[in-house]
Structure formats: C-alpha cells, structure tokens
Amino acid sequence: MRSLAFNLAFGLISVFYTLAAALAALVPGRDAVRMVVYRYVRRMTWAMRNLAGIQLEVRGKERLPAGGFILAPKHASYGDGFSAYAQFDDLAIVTGDHLERFPLFKTVLKKLGAIVVDHCGGAEAREALSRTAAEANAEGRRILIYPEGALAPVGQYYRYKSGVYHMARDFGLPVVPAASSLGLFWPQENWTKHPGTAVLEFLDPITPGDDKDAFMAALTQAVEKRTAELVAEARGTPVVAAVLTVPDHEKKADQGAA
C-alpha cells in the first residue's frame, strides 16, 4: 500500500508541478521556474518520507566548500535527483536529452538553465556540455552531474564518464563526491519502494589535476567505496565492493557498431 500511495502521489505531484513550471517559464528570469522546481523536489522528498516510509539522512554538509563546486553523486535511484536537489536552493543540473521528449520538459529545462547533453556522447556533446556549463558557472550556480550517466543497480556501478573532469578542470572547480544508499529503498525506477532510512553523504572534495585517469579513479573509488559501506550499514551486513558493469544501452551501441 505504501508503494501504491507514493506512486499515485508521484504522478499527481509531477503533473501539477510540470504544468506550474511551464507557466512559470513564461515569466521573465529564472526565479519563478526555479522556485516551482524547488517546491516540487521538496514535495517529493515529503512524499518519500510520509508515504513510502523512506527517511533521508543527510551527512557531510560541513564538507561542502564555499563558493562554486561540482556535485558528483552515486546514481542508483530515480529519487537521487530529488534528494540532492532538495539540499540546495539553486543547482545547475546536467541531464540527458531524453527528458526533452516529455511534453513541456524542454521549455522548463531551458528556462531552468539545465545543462542538457546528447545521451550518445561524442565531441559535439562534450562541446555543448562545456558551453552550457560555462554559463552556469559564470552565474555562480553549483553544478550537479551524475558521472555514471544511468541508474546502476545496488552492488554494481557503471564506468564514470569524464565530463565531470573536463568541467572541473576548465572552470577550476572542486568536485564533491557523494555516496548514497537510497537505491536499496527505491531501486532504480522500480514501482516498489521499501521503507527505511537512506543516507546521502557528501564526501571530501577532490581537486582536478592534469592526470584525468587518476582523477576519475579517485572519484570512482571515493563514491563506490563509501556507497558500499552505507549499503552494508543499512543491511547490517559486511561490506561488499560493487562490481563494474556495462549498462544495457552501451551493450546495444556496441552491438550496433559491430
């Protein structure tokens, strides 16, 4: 019943706030649509807590640097975005272009100042990412990016994409890794939710250097190690390291290229 109640609320709240955001997008400036989106994520975290029974414990806020930074969290749940966005009053989110296929989303994302990138990647996607991220950085907004680019099941992780490194290096911004156990309670995009206490933990910032591979390895290690520890904490079991997995969409792409 908890899952049914939450999913019904999810649909109703999403429709209402999507329409409200589309109307707010007609108002000059970003403030109106930003306020609507912020209220939306706050309503969703309320529904997670009161309907799905998922309590969110946030740790490590004292580690967040003053000024601009790039937030690079674990991505194992559809609820990750709500949980992270609700901790800040203004974030520039990096999202795939698949969201633009939903009615009204393209207009809202543009007005919100979201950084929309081609899901297929490539040189053009990297250029678009760099250009729009530069605009967000110039406005002093913190940037949220999920380096895995897709929802990984608990106990697995996908290869972290290097866009986060290039943004951090180009703008001279620190990267804040973030671990999460939310995927245990709201797995990926699953209908069924499980009550319990999920943890979102901000970790020590990482400063990009000239060695991209070393940076990506450090970021992956920080996020995956702490996420495995949080999952073990929630389960009351020994820590088990996550396994590198190739997501289905990349397998299909490789098969198509073969």
Complete DSSP assignment for the chain: -HHHHHHHHHHHHHHHHHHHHHHHTTSSSSHHHHHHHHHHHHHHHHHHHHTS-EEEEEE-GGGSPSS--EEEE---BTTHHHHHHTT-S-EEEEEEGGGGGSTTHHHHHHHHT-EEE-TT-SHHHHHHHHHHHHHHHHTT-EEE--TT-S-PPTTEEPPPPTHHHHHHHHHT--EEEEEE-GGGTS-BT-S----EEEEEEE---B---S-HHHHHHHHHHHHHHHHHHHHHHHHTS-----EE---HHHHHHHHHH-
**Residue 147 — very low, low, confident or very high, per pLDDT cuts 50/70/90?**
very high
The mean pLDDT value for 122-151 works out to 76
Q: What percent of the chain has pLDDT over 70?
A: 84
Separation of alpha carbons 236 and 71, rounded Å:
28
Mean pLDDT across the chain:
87
Query: Shortest CA distance to 117 belongs to which of 139, 92, 140?
Result: 92
Residue 171 has what pLDDT?
Answer: 85
Residue 141 has what pLDDT?
Answer: 79
Encode pLDDT of 102-117 as tens digits: 656 667 777 777 777 6
Residue 1 has what pLDDT?
Answer: 83
Domain 55-257 indexed as CATH 3.40.1130.10: yes
Q: Is the dihedral of CA 228, 233, 237, 239 positive or negative?
A: positive
**Residue 207 — very low, low, confident or very high, per pLDDT cuts 50/70/90?**
very high
Check whether 19 has a pLDDT greater than 70: yes
Query: Shortest CA distance to 164 belongs to which of 222, 108, 113, 251?
Result: 222
The mean pLDDT value for 180-190 works out to 96
Residue 132 has what pLDDT?
Answer: 67
Check whether 39 has a pLDDT greater than 90: yes
pTM: 0.88
Query: Shortest CA distance to 153 belongs to which of 195, 190, 203, 119?
Result: 190
Separation of alpha carbons 207 and 71, rounded Å:
12
**Residue 249 — very low, low, confident or very high, per pLDDT cuts 50/70/90?**
low
